[in-house]
Structure 1
Amino acid sequence: MLPAEQHRFLDALRALLGTSHVLHLAEDCAPYLTDWRKRYQGRALAVVLPGDAAQVAGVVQLCALHGVGVVPQGGNTGLVGGATPDASGEQIVLSTRRLNRIRSIDPAGGVLVAEAGCVLAAVQQAAAEHGLLFPLSLAAEGSCTIGGNLSTNAGGTAVLRYGNARELCLGLEVVTAQGEVLDALNLLRKNNTGYSLRDLYVGSEGTLGIITAAALKLFAQPAAQITALVAVHDVAAAIGLLGLANARLGCSLTGFELMSAHSLQLVQQHFPQLALPFELPSAWCVLLESSETEGEPQGRARLESLLEMALNDGLIVNAAVAQSLAQSQALWHLRESIPLAQAQEGLNIKHDIGVPLSRMVAFVESTAELVTQALPGARLVVFGHLGDGNLHYNVQAPVGADAARFLAEHQAVCNRIVHDAAVACGGTFSAEHGVGQLKRDDLARYGNPVALAQMRALKQALDPQNLMNPGKMWPG
């Protein structure tokens, strides 16, 4: 774009949004141009902050007219570079931070309508004020936004009971690549009238359109939540415990998180105030949570009975059941501090794999051998949502090694080992983080050719100018 056309474009944006909502100076744009992991640094023609869906549509119309790419950004907490512009300086970042209203809550119908820029924790709080639960929960819930959660089909810690973000969404409001507002804010649990456009836009990472609002499912608040930290010998024992928990607790089983002993040792090293309730006599721990409808005494008795049976069956080594909300929060803080402890330890190679539970033991054992053979001294920091087959299979540099150099020299080889192993087990290289910039080549390498062809056809049909989050998922 020539300088004169740039000026006309920016002037049109200012006329639409107001000067204060079009950021152009480098110091104003800087917070929007680097991803959360600081792996991607981009440039932008401007950062725009529309205040409603009509303004988002107006921005997209101007971008279509001038051929300018649009990079939607919510809380900027993504892990694959999906909300960062490229280095050309010819794209705009469209921040949804001003689209932050709870439009309505229907307690009887169990539906809340939130705009895309609503922080997840604010949606949780709005539901709680009506005695209801919005169950999506993840470590970044104090800063991630509903639009970002839906665009990546976020998972989190309660997928086992409530499902991914897609299952928690009834309908969407979306601005299309042509700048039209698609009002598909379905408030019904049943509505079989044509294609499910919700499923098309959820998980598309902003490459087909921009989510501006969503109708979200609400649930009854549990009468009690009982949390336990359990030590197990190995992954096979953890899977055995999961089977027993499913049989004994049924749908009240809400969380089932697997953590390697090394991941918890990193937490203790960098956050010594976060104490474990017992010594680590084994290689693995499970954080288990049950959400009860009957009440705390009944729930605690059921969980303790489960743990006693698991101990008698040789599935567990030790266990500690939280006796208060504070203790429960402390156990979850251990789990949620693992990524922070890794960051304190230094740069690391992250993976977000999904593997069928029937193949999980084989995956963990064989991949550990392959990685340590290829990268002697590398430390495996493995944790994640075992209940739904999703592990963060991370690799830390050897003790004393230059972490940045280790990442630069070995990431490609490590990624190939881990992703090949996951796919060979019938799994995926991206279970919940998305593709973004980081995994575009992996999508091309591992994707089903027929599925890829259909996805490309959808992209071409809905965004023929390739203006919606260009360079994400697909090259170019």
Structure 2
Amino acid sequence: MLNPCDAAFLAGLSETLPPGTLREAEPRWLSEPRGRYQGQAGAVALPRSTAEVSAILRACAAARVGIVPWGGGTGLVAGQVMAEGPAPLLLSLERMAAVRGIWPGENVIAVEAGMTLQSVQEAAAAAGLLFPLSLASEGTAAIGGNLATNAGGTAVLRYGNARDLCLGLEAVLPDGSVWNGLGRLRKDNTGYDLKNLLIGSEGTLGVITAASLRLYSQPAARVVAMLAVPSPAAAQALLRLCQAQTGGLVSGFELIGRMGFEFLAEAGPALPLPFAAPPDWTVLLELGLPVAMEPEATMAGIYEAADGAGLVLDGVIATSEAQADQLWAIRESIPEANKRIGAVASHDISLPLDAIPGFLETAGVALAARADVRINAFGHLGDGNLHYNLFPARGRHRSDYDDARAELTRIVHDLVAAEGGSISAEHGIGRLKVADLERYGDPARLAAMRAIKAALDPAGIMNPGAVLRG
């Protein structure tokens, strides 16, 4: 059993920390973007160093007080809020936001976990390099949280998830011991891979305090286009064509269904849209090209070949950085439009690429047989990750579907599982999907996860109730 983070515990903890480290929890630390959970906390700890994080975890382990790590608060599966049980201590690393070092010749930067993703990108750019992880919430999301959830984003197709961009970690384990794994090695075959165990563990096995990250050369040219396509299958064929013609230089390949444009027109944000009437399916394509490839000629060649193969119906090619940013703004504003409409159920799923067209057709039919909903399907087609979200029919409210929500999600997830997909592509499990993980997870894998949790965190203080049921 865990104990609450009460006045007596805080009085003892405060004696080991600098003044001002412990604070009363403000509303921003106790909410999550979708508004479904309201968190609780006895206090918030804001350490300035790894040594202070170590002291906090050591004290919590001794007193059996739960800890909820808090990054930028942008997570969508309630991993950062604990609504039930003894009040935990909230741990925010926002004061730990320094660059530990940068090695341009090695394409490596070491940063503390509280840096925002945007700040990491800017530090890399100042050295003439690229940190390619990119999310709509990058101005707020912390890199420690990105690693703890193995964040994906729009550039996974070319550069990989957060896991693929990390060379080393510094982390504090549940007993307060510090793992000094902040290396810069590409190869280190010396036993179990603790780095990749902590990445994606959502704060349930320890606290990431710093990371060594892989950087890349900046592309010499960026080409962005929005292309109307006849179908998702045509979009996949277009991706293969683009990869073949550029030698794998596609940086982003996003699928947008017609409903995304309709929601933007209905609820905003107000943006200039490229087509007079929204196509059923659209692709947002970005290429990052070297000096040897002329941007306009490359995109013209792709469009001509795609048109000849019947893979495109219409298109807009950005002729400036401002226009490219405008096209991306359309894609990045769809989640805000979704929020304004109010989702009945949201699903972050991944599927084998060849299964996507069939899933979209089958799921639409299955859902229509159960309820009158609008479906907004969009996402990272190149890596198989779709955001498959259900919304009330026009004139109805999301609350009208309260009795159907669980069944609708079950329909979607059952179809995903039948295709060998995942019910959580990039958002994680948090607290929202614990039951889903139990239902769809492989039993042997779940048993191994529970054994690892018990070995590293025997008192169960780390993010109680997230990922694995307490």
Pick the TM interval, shorter chain: over 0.9
Matched, 1:192 2:186: no
Residue of structure 2 aligned with 1:236, choices 211, 233, 236: 233
Matched, 1:360 2:359: no
Matched, 1:422 2:416: yes
Q: Can you list the C-alpha shifts for 1:364-421, whole angstroms capped at 9, x where unaligned? A: 1000111111112x00001000000000000011111122342x22221111011111
The alpha-carbon deviation at position 212 of structure 1 amounts to 0.5
Residue of structure 1 aligned with 2:291, choices 285, 294, 306: 294
The equivalent of 2:377 in structure 1 is: 382
**Structure 2 counterparts to residues 290-369 of structure 1, below 5 A:** 290-294=287-291, 298-369=294-365
Question: Contact 2:70–2:92 at 8 Å: present in 1 too?
Answer: yes
Question: Contact 1:42–1:89 at 8 Å: present in 2 too?
Answer: no
The equivalent of 2:15 in structure 1 is: 15
Question: Contact 2:4–2:65 at 8 Å: present in 1 too?
Answer: no
- Aligned equivalents of 2:432, 2:5: Cα separation in 1: 32
**Structure 2 counterparts to residues 406-421 of structure 1, below 5 A:** 406=401, 408-421=402-415
| Superposition TM-score, scaled by structure 2 size | 0.97
Structure 1 unmatched runs, 5+: none
- Aligned equivalents of 1:101, 1:123: Cα separation in 2: 10
The alpha-carbon deviation at position 89 of structure 1 amounts to 4.5
The equivalent of 2:256 in structure 1 is: 259
The alpha-carbon deviation at position 7 of structure 1 amounts to 2.9
- Aligned equivalents of 1:100, 1:227: Cα separation in 2: 32
**Structure 2 counterparts to residues 216-235 of structure 1, below 5 A:** 216-235=213-232
- Aligned equivalents of 2:74, 2:2: Cα separation in 1: 33
The equivalent of 1:133 in structure 2 is: 130
The alpha-carbon deviation at position 20 of structure 1 amounts to 2.2
Structure 2 unmatched runs, 5+: none
Q: Which amino acid aligns with 2:36?
A: R
Q: Which amino acid aligns with 2:294?
A: Q
Q: Can you list the C-alpha shifts for 1:130-186, whole angstroms capped at 9, x where unaligned? A: 000000001000000101100110000000100000000001011001000101112
Q: Can you list the C-alpha shifts for 1:181-232, whole angstroms capped at 9, x where unaligned? A: 1011120111111111111000000110110000000100111110000001
Distance 1:94 1:5, change over 3 A: closer
Residue of structure 2 aligned with 1:119, choices 93, 116, 121: 116
Q: Give the secondary structure class of the aligned counterpart of 1:301.
A: helix
Question: Contact 2:4–2:42 at 8 Å: present in 1 too?
Answer: no
Q: Which amino acid aligns with 1:14?
A: S
Q: Can you list the C-alpha shifts for 1:267-306, whole angstroms capped at 9, x where unaligned? A: 12333641122223631000000001116x7122112111
- Aligned equivalents of 1:183, 1:398: Cα separation in 2: 53
Q: Give the secondary structure class of the aligned counterpart of 2:247.
A: helix
- Aligned equivalents of 1:131, 1:182: Cα separation in 2: 31
Give the superposed CA RMSD: 1.7
The equivalent of 2:50 in structure 1 is: 53
Distance 1:178 1:393, change over 3 A: same
- Aligned equivalents of 1:69, 1:89: Cα separation in 2: 8
Q: Give the secondary structure class of the aligned counterpart of 1:288.
A: strand
| Superposition TM-score, scaled by structure 1 size | 0.96
Distance 1:313 1:275, change over 3 A: same
Q: Can you list the C-alpha shifts for 1:53-80, whole angstroms capped at 9, x where unaligned? A: 1101100011011110100000000000
- Aligned equivalents of 1:89, 1:404: Cα separation in 2: 30
**Structure 2 counterparts to residues 32-111 of structure 1, below 5 A:** 32-111=29-108
Aligned length: 470
Q: Which amino acid aligns with 1:169?
A: C
The alpha-carbon deviation at position 35 of structure 1 amounts to 1.3
Q: Which amino acid aligns with 1:474?
A: L
Q: Give the secondary structure class of the aligned counterpart of 2:137.
A: coil
Greater CA drift, 138-147 or 7-16: 7-16
Q: Which amino acid aligns with 2:386?
A: L
The alpha-carbon deviation at position 347 of structure 1 amounts to 3.6
- Aligned equivalents of 2:247, 2:350: Cα separation in 1: 22
Q: Give the secondary structure class of the aligned counterpart of 1:319.
A: strand
Question: Contact 2:3–2:66 at 8 Å: present in 1 too?
Answer: no
The alpha-carbon deviation at position 471 of structure 1 amounts to 0.2
- Aligned equivalents of 1:282, 1:332: Cα separation in 2: 17
Question: Contact 2:4–2:66 at 8 Å: present in 1 too?
Answer: no
Question: Contact 2:343–2:390 at 8 Å: present in 1 too?
Answer: no
Greater CA drift, 36-45 or 135-144: 36-45
* Percent identity of paired positions between Structure 1 and Structure 2: 46
Matched, 1:460 2:450: no
- Aligned equivalents of 2:3, 2:269: Cα separation in 1: 55
- Aligned equivalents of 1:250, 1:459: Cα separation in 2: 42
Distance 1:441 1:2, change over 3 A: closer
Q: Give the secondary structure class of the aligned counterpart of 2:169.
A: strand
